[in-house]
Structure 1
Amino acid sequence: MKYSAIITDIEGTTSRISFVTQVLFPYAARQLPAFMQQHASEPAVAEQLAACRNLMQQPDASLDAIIAQLQQWIAEDKKATPLKALQGMVWQQGYQNGAFTGHVYQDVFDALSRWQQQGIKLYVYSSGSVQAQQLLFKYSDFGDMTPLFSGYFDTRIGAKREMSSYAAILQHLQLPPKQVLFLSDVVAELDAAAPLGIGTMQLIRDGQVAGSHTIAHNFNQVEELIA
């Protein structure tokens, strides 16, 4: 295989979009108010509360006001870093309590296992927090998949539709762009990575509109196309 590293998106790529929209988001919306009330004084939560106030431009916003804003952001699927961090904390409880497991397609588990055995470094880049990414794969339908991955990236490295984010990832990987493949279902994300020389492939699983990138319908096809 010509790639030394493969970076994959999650939603719509390794996992059903509906898992996020119909399972994770509603669970966070239901559980977030009580979680915030119970844990607001803990340092990790307090740090994200301060970040929420900063984003809201309301330095004195009450806890209730922040909770209301978070609920609105969830409804809007806003890519706000403190929201993603707090969602990850809530989801951790859900995973650990057995409320759900992380959905991963069978072909993804099979292909990632083969690629890792072949010595390819595997990374995740998602708008969900690193914690949320790790939880999904740790408590996946196939058990703990985290040993397959060499690293995780989220919005702290940059927005997924910005070329600078992929430049930063390349800097972290210390690999030539031509040795890196990025998998996503979102054309705009692939468009941001491609000008740097990164290999790109679009996953079409749920009726996504195809762009100008190579298309695959599952990870087995990805493997066939890059062999």
Structure 2
Amino acid sequence: MTAPAGPERADGVTAVVVDIEGTTSPTAAVVGTLYPYARARLAGWLAGHPDDPRTCRAVAQVRELLGEPAADLARVTAALDDWLARDVKAAPLKTLQGQIWAAGFAAGELTGVLFGDVAPALRRWHAAGIRLAVYSSGSAVAQRAWFGRAAALDSAGRPSPERPDDLGPLLTAHFDLDNAGPKTAERSYARIAAVLNAQPGRLLFLTDRPAELDAARAAGWRVVGVARPGEPYAAALAGYPRVSSFADLALTAA
């Protein structure tokens, strides 16, 4: 893969919206840690939270997606396990994962992981007056937990031993499949622009997924692909404006 040219410049930006997996954080940190954590606790979570409104809504959505309104919890759990194994971006799965992960973060059992260039860039952009938001297939609850207890990777690719950062105060909004829609749909980005009350041409989306870049660009957004070495989609971004690090982005506020 040809190395991205940098820096990539964007002036007059109202807000930067970032993806997580492969963009702010290593895919392995999400797939290798969070997914197994949720899978091991799904059945227990469903059984232990029968009156929780979000859990009940997610279970109802699973039954609706299955076309089985009378499906018991064993059937619901089996469907969720199958979707998780196939990385299906189903809203009820992401809701339940987010609840389980949030509990894990609160208990100190989980820590978010960010590439070393991410936190300094977010602080720099925030200080410059640029609003920051997240748009991920992971639920808004999970996003808040991830950035609320985040460890930076050092130069050797290992999480810093220092106390995890709380980057939550830097973020003004969290978007997911439930409140925004599919990440490959143009209408989702139109909806986010409306919520942020910003002109699409003043919004910048950062992600490693080509189909998401296409959808955001079709909605009138500015886009930059994040081609981090070793990440699954890095080689697919050759036709897009791209960087390998947030440090290579030069932004000014609108």
Give the shorter-chain TM-score range.
over 0.9
- Contact kept? 1:187, 1:211, Cα under 8 Å: no
Q: Tell me which of 150, 173, 181 is aligned to 2:172.
A: 150
TM-fit CA distance, 1:211: 4.1
- Contact kept? 2:187, 2:219, Cα under 8 Å: no
TM-fit CA distance, 1:43: 2.7
Deviations for 1:3-55, whole angstroms, at most 9, x for unmatched residues?
11111111100011011110000110111111212112333312211111111
Deviations for 1:132-164, whole angstroms, at most 9, x for unmatched residues?
111101121142111001101111211111111
Tell me, in whole angstroms, the C-alpha distance in 1 between the residues paired with 2:237 and 2:116: 23
Tell me, in whole angstroms, the C-alpha distance in 2 between the residues paired with 1:9 and 1:49: 26
Deviations for 1:81-132, whole angstroms, at most 9, x for unmatched residues?
1111111111112112222200111210000001101110001111111111
Q: Give the equivalent residue in structure 1 for 2:244.
A: 217
Q: TM-score, normalised by structure 1?
A: 0.95
TM-fit CA distance, 1:73: 0.8
Q: Tell me which of 140, 146, 161 is aligned to 1:136.
A: 146
Q: Which runs of 4+ in 1 moved over 2 A?
A: 40-44
Q: Where in structure 2 are there 5+ consecutive unaligned residues?
A: 1-10, 152-163
Alignment of 1:177-192 (within 5 A): 177-192=200-215
Aligned with 1:7: secondary structure? Answer: strand
| Higher RCO (C-alpha under 8 Å, 6+ residues apart) | 2
Q: Give the equivalent residue in structure 1 for 2:221.
A: 198
Identity, % of aligned pairs?
Answer: 37
Q: Does 1:99 align with 2:126?
A: no
Q: Give the equivalent residue in structure 1 for 2:130.
A: 120
Query: How many residues end up aligned between the 2 structures?
Result: 225
- CA RMSD between the two structures: 1.3
Counterpart amino acid of residue 174 in structure 2: Y
Q: Where in structure 1 are there 5+ consecutive unaligned residues?
A: none
Counterpart amino acid of residue 6 in structure 1: V
Alignment of 1:1-227 (within 5 A): 1-141=11-151, 142-156=164-178, 157-205=180-228, 206-207=230-231, 208=234, 209-223=236-250, 226=251
Counterpart amino acid of residue 5 in structure 1: A
- Contact kept? 1:29, 1:74, Cα under 8 Å: yes
Query: Hey, which of these two has a bigger chunk of helix by percent?
Result: 1
